[in-house]
Chain A
């Protein structure tokens, strides 16, 4: 079945530091890839997505590029803020309407 491997946290960064959270996946066919964010005490919010190879998803300064050759979808942000502190989940969906498989989540803590 589908699976997602992402780096385990917690990741602690100073404000304005560069962020990378690695994510690799296994899935059949041409899956869609997602990053979800969960702020403390809240639900899951879709942060960004990419639906085909070489697509770049972006939102709120975060970016991730769908790399089929390396089966990766690493999340990056050039300058993190304290308000970015949250848990970030990489996820894969094999096809439309099918279940989404999540990684374990990476907790990011940004300190002033």
Chain B
């Protein structure tokens, strides 16, 4: 079964450092998303991406965050200057874009720890 692949599975970074989280969506999918889950809390929407541009973003997704699809296969989330409160599990997801609305396929997540 096709998978969404995220790397690394765990990243530790110092406060103030830049971090890039990587995702490889399913190859024929057209819509891409980032979500985050602070430990023990709900899963929160960050951003959606279609046709090489952001289609929607939440208030969490401020100027410190950016997304990119640099080479047609990878989909990255960059945090420019990490804060302690950015520590969370970050999930990438992709959607084929069918009107049948099959639901997202999520990756297994990257656990980001900011120290």
Contacts and interface: CB of A to CB of B under 8 A. Distances in A.
A46 B105 contact: yes
A93 B42 contact: no
A47 to B, nearest CB: 10
The size bracket of the interface on B is 20 to 34
Interface string A30-68: 001010100000111110010100000000000000000
Nearest to A49: B103
Contacts of B55: 97
A100 B42 CA distance: 12
Nearest to B30: A97
A24 interface: no
Interface in B1-51: 31, 33, 41-45, 48, 50
A75 to B, nearest CB: 15
A45 B101 CA distance: 15
Interface in A62-112: 89, 93, 96-105
Interface stretch (B63-71, B75-83, B91-99): B91-99
Contact of A100 (B45, B50, B99, B102): B45
A93 B102 CA distance: 11
Interface of B: 31, 33, 41-45, 48, 50, 55-56, 58, 91, 93, 95, 97-109
Q: Give 5 closest A-B pairs by Cβ, nearest first.
A: A43-B108, A102-B43, A44-B106, A99-B45, A46-B103
26 contacts: A36-B106, A43-B91, A43-B106, A43-B108, A44-B43, A44-B93, A44-B106, A44-B109, A46-B105, A46-B106, A49-B101, A49-B103, A93-B103, A96-B98, A96-B99, A97-B48, A97-B55, A97-B95, A99-B45, A99-B56, A100-B103, A102-B42, A102-B43, A103-B42, A104-B41, A105-B42
Given A98-B48, A99-B48, 13 more contacts: A34-B103, A42-B108, A43-B106, A44-B91, A44-B109, A46-B106, A89-B43, A97-B55, A97-B97, A99-B45, A99-B58, A100-B45, A104-B41
Interface of A: 32, 34, 36, 42-46, 49, 51, 89, 93, 96-105
